[in-house]
Structure 1
Amino acid sequence: MHDLYKFPKMPGLAAALGALALFVFAGAAEAANPLELNFWLSGPRYDGRLKPCEAALSTITSQFQEKESTYWNSSLRITSYGQIHEIAFRPWQSDDIPRRYCGGEVMLSDGKMHKVYYSLIEDGGFASFGQGVEWCVTGLDRNWAYNPACRAAGP
């Protein structure tokens, strides 16, 4: 059977007609009503009150041991810390989430020393409750989350 209605193939023309129809038949943009104007949206209120660097060491110790045993089938543990110091506090704009960046050294159960870099984050805990901790032990960032050499864990 023959096709009685043949149209030339013009994809560019079809796209142009579709865009024109979108603008012609679309409704006008309206301003926000009073209930949509930041009603109860006060925004985050960060106080910048973060614990000192030493407060995160127990969290790092337990998370390191859990990560090594669960994901890497390793019995490595952190046995001691040394030279813990603050690297930066809120190094960016004051509107950013407050962080305290710290560094130091760790002694592992295999007798080797490694550098550790970590940050304490205001409202960075589970479901934004409490302070969160992000950390990296150089040489043991096996999934390269903070590569190279844990530089991404710092400011």
Structure 2
Amino acid sequence: MRHRSLLALLSLALASATSSAASAADMLQAAPPPEVVIAAKVPACDDPKVLAEVEDQFEYGARGMLQSDLQVLEFRNLLEKAYFPEDEEHAVERRYCQGEAVVAQAGTQPGYGQTHTIYYVIEHPLGFASIGWKAQGCFLGLDRWHVYGANCSSLRRF
């Protein structure tokens, strides 16, 4: 009799241990993976300061190179194509971006421009006097002198 109660107690303890281990394993599997956060020196693709710099560069180039008064009305569908942090082998941090820009003659009402694919890169430390970041963009179909290669190839690497 004593032997039976000891066996029953041992069975109960074993069953209890396996059920708590299973629930602990379930809790570990349900936990979301940790987010990887990288402290970047270059801003995001949709940062308003980046878009303003790309817009200013384009509008300056349109007047000087295209002899046109084109302006950017809107940016859409912006996304990051690649990010390369600064490291021992690479002194410049780069973020490659892509999106669409609605472009029209100055004074055109919103909704009446042409949509162009835009490729742009944000680089650090390539700002004024190598301080801060700089953004450069290429509007597909509007780079007549191929400053960024045929079809903006130097900025659409990915």
TM-score range, shorter chain: 0.5 to 0.7
Which residue of 126, 129, 148 corresponds with 2:128?
126
Question: Which structure: greater strand fraction?
Answer: 2
The one of the two structures with greater contact order (alpha-carbon pairs below 8 A, sep at least 6) is 2
TM-score using structure 1 length: 0.64
Provide runs of 4+ in structure 1 moved above 6 Å.
none
Counterparts of 1:38-49 in structure 2, within 5 Å, are 48-49=40-41
Report what 2:95 is aligned to: 100
Letter in 2 for 1:66: Y
> Which residue of structure 2 aligns with residue 53 of structure 1?
45
Q: Which amino acid in structure 1 is aligned with residue 81 of structure 2?
A: I
Closer, same or farther: CA 93–145 of 1 in aligned 2, 3 Å:
farther
Q: Runs of 5+ in structure 1 lacking a partner? A: 1-46
After TM superposition, give the deviation of residue 61 of structure 1 in Å: 0.9
How far apart are the structure 2 equivalents of 1:148 and 1:71? Answer: 16
User: How far is 1:137 from its partner?
Assistant: 0.5
What TM-score, normalized by structure 2, do the two folds share? 0.63
Give the C-alpha shift of residue 93 in structure 1: 6.9
Q: Which runs of 5+ in 2 are unaligned?
A: 1-38, 106-112
Percent identity of the aligned residues? 28
In the alignment, does 2:85 pair up with 1:83?
Answer: no
Number of matched pairs: 109
Q: Which residue of 1 aligns with 2:21?
A: none
1:48-96 residue CA offsets vs partner (Å, 9 max, x unmatched): 4211112210111111111111232201111001000000001897621
Pairwise CA RMSD of aligned residues? 2.0
